[in-house]
Structures are given as C-alpha cells and as structure tokens.
Amino acid sequence: MEFTTLGRTGLKVSVASLGCGGGSALGQSKGKSEAHSIDLVKKAMDLGVNFIDTANAYGTEAIVGKAIKDRLRDEVVISTKHHAAWSGKIHTADDVIAGLDNSLRLLGTDYIDVFHLHGVGPKFIDHGLSLVDALLIEKEKGKFRFLGITESAPPDPTHTSLSKALEPDCFDVVMFAFSLMNHNAREILFPKTLAQNVGTMIMFVVRSLFSVPGRLQSDIQELVDNGQLPSWFAETDNPLGFLVHEGGASSVMDACYRFARHEKGADSILFGTGDPDHLKTNLASILAPPLPSEDLAKIDEYFGHLEGVGLDFPR
C-alpha cells in the first residue's frame, strides 16, 4: 500500500479508501450477510487500506464498527457523514449533531477522524454552511477531528457547491467526483484545494457508466449524436479500447482508477466492492503506475470538454 498526507489534517491515509456505500454497500445491497461485509472490511485493512468511508445513510456504520473493534484506533482513519438536507427534509444543527452522536455509537469509537456534511447540492449549500459553527463546537468537544463536506455530483456537474464551500476555508477535507470522462474538477476545484491544502477524497471514479454492461456504449452514442465526440466512437463495441494495450491499462476499469489516482491534487481514491477478489483487483489498479503520457493526451483531447458524464446516484 502507498500512503499520502490528507491535506492540512496531517493524517497519513492510504491512497485507496474503502467506500462503504455506493451500489454495493460492502455487499449489503446484493444480499450478502453482515459477517461477509465485516470480513471484507477486515480484508481491506489486511491489504493496507487504513482509510474507511461510510455514512449514516449507508447503513454500514455498525459493520465498520464491528470490523475495527479489534484494531488499535490509531491504525484506522474513519470518515463518516450526515446530510444537511435530503429527500425533502432540511436537517437542523441539532439533527446533524444527533446523527454524529449516533455514528459514534454505531462505529464504537470515541471520535471520528473526518466528519462530513453529506451530499450538499447547490440548493442547500447556504444551509450547509450555516451548520458549520455548531459542528465546530462538537469538534472542540472531541467528537471528531476534522470537518469535511461532500458534493452531490448528479445535480452539480460544475462543482458549484464545493466552490462556494471552499471560500470561507472552514473545511479540512472535501469529496467530489472526478473520472476519466468527467474531469472539470481539474480546473474548478483542484487549484483551490491545492492552494488551501485541503484534503481530497475522489469519488465517482467508477460508476454505472463503466460497470454496467452496455451503459458506456449508449452514453457514447448520445455524445456522438450531440456532436460532443467523433463519430468513430459509436462505430466500435469497445470505444475506450485505445487505452487497453501492452504498456497501457489492462482494462477500462484499470484505466479509470489509474487516471484518477495520479491526478495532481488527488489524495485518496474511493472504491467500493462487495467481493474479495474485486477488492484485490481494485487495489492493484489504484497502486499501478500512471497511464502512458500518450494515452493521457488522448483522454484530454477527447473528453476534456465533457461535463456531467457518468454522474448518477447508485442504484
């Protein structure tokens, strides 16, 4: 495993962070047992992953708590979250603090390393920012060490929420979408996080766009029809096959992880899985060398202008 410093937090975190939500939720969304999911978290830690990301909305905090209970607390970095607003409900500061307290209980820990306001879209960013002072009081009590915020990527393809959140410089960590076909964060967010030494957690690196059979082809056809990609992309069953070759990526998924992992300013790459073999494959890609420079140039040429591609909520 390789480790990096998570911005100004000073936390030494693995460059791969285990996401406990998403489409798999450690296998829970696929009907796997709690014991299976606990064992999966333990396997990730045995392979060197020390950064684990969950949320009260994922339903996996208790699983993470059981997985880490026999570990020394300073051997693992825990990130969890609570929505400022979601599904028609605007949460008060008291609501979020109650959620924080419940997360501490479920995780079985005295403190959380990074506590995020979760999935804050443009409509609610002002409300999210209004909660910061109350949360910093809880931080002073020792309930969490660093404050973070995550974007709601599907309704916010140009990162307006996090752009605004970074202005008062009150967040130590931010989580946002960045992928092989969606990399406008390179111009919009990374310059700000680097300048402010804010830690970054990169999500949506692999989503339905790359993992659901047929999805990539259908989305690319739409992009071709809209004049956003050359016509030849729609004339092949493997439109990203140019990235898979000797000396390049071993698969499209491998290319996705390697592209994000080696972006300047990307601290830790989130990945999710419910399968032990898939866990090892993901880690191998995140730990692989950068893609060849000629392939990176092609990615920039073809996809650098795209906006909002592959941003959808997990199913």
Tens-digit pLDDT profile for residues 21-74? 988 899 998 899 999 999 999 999 999 999 999 999 999 999 999 999 999 999
Over 90: is that where the pLDDT of 258 sits? Answer: yes
pTM (two decimals): 0.96
Pairing of strands 173-177, 16-19: unpaired
Backbone dihedral angles phi then psi of residue 249, each to the nearest 5 degrees: -80, 155
Structure tokens at 14: 């693995």
Question: What is the pLDDT, as a whole number, of residue 23?
Answer: 84
pLDDT given for residue 312 in this prediction: 87
Rounded mean pLDDT, 91-117: 98
Q: What is the mean pLDDT of residues 77-104?
A: 96
Mean pLDDT of the chain: 96
Q: Are 3 and 77 in contact (CB under 8 A)?
A: no
pLDDT band at residue 211 under the 50/70/90 scheme: confident
Q: Which fold has domain 3-204+259-290?
A: TIM Barrel (3.20.20)
Given this model, what pLDDT does residue 207 score? 83
pLDDT at 82 over 70: yes
Residues 6+ apart with CB under 8 A from 254: 244, 285, 288
**Mean pLDDT, rounded, for 178-190:** 96
- At 315 the pLDDT is 65
Label residue 297 by pLDDT band (50, 70, 90): very high
C-alpha to C-alpha distance for 308 and 153, rounded to whole angstroms: 8
Q: Is the pLDDT of residue 85 over 90?
A: yes
With a cut of 70, say whether residue 291 has pLDDT above it.
yes
Task: Check the CA dihedral 160-166-167-171 and report its sign.
Answer: positive
pLDDT level of residue 88 (50, 70, 90 thresholds)? confident
Report the percentage of the chain scoring pLDDT > 90. Answer: 93
Mean pLDDT of 189-211: 95
Q: How far apart are CA 267 and CA 75, in angstroms?
A: 18
Kindly state the average pLDDT of the residues 251-280: 96
Band of pLDDT at residue 175, cut at 50, 70 and 90: very high
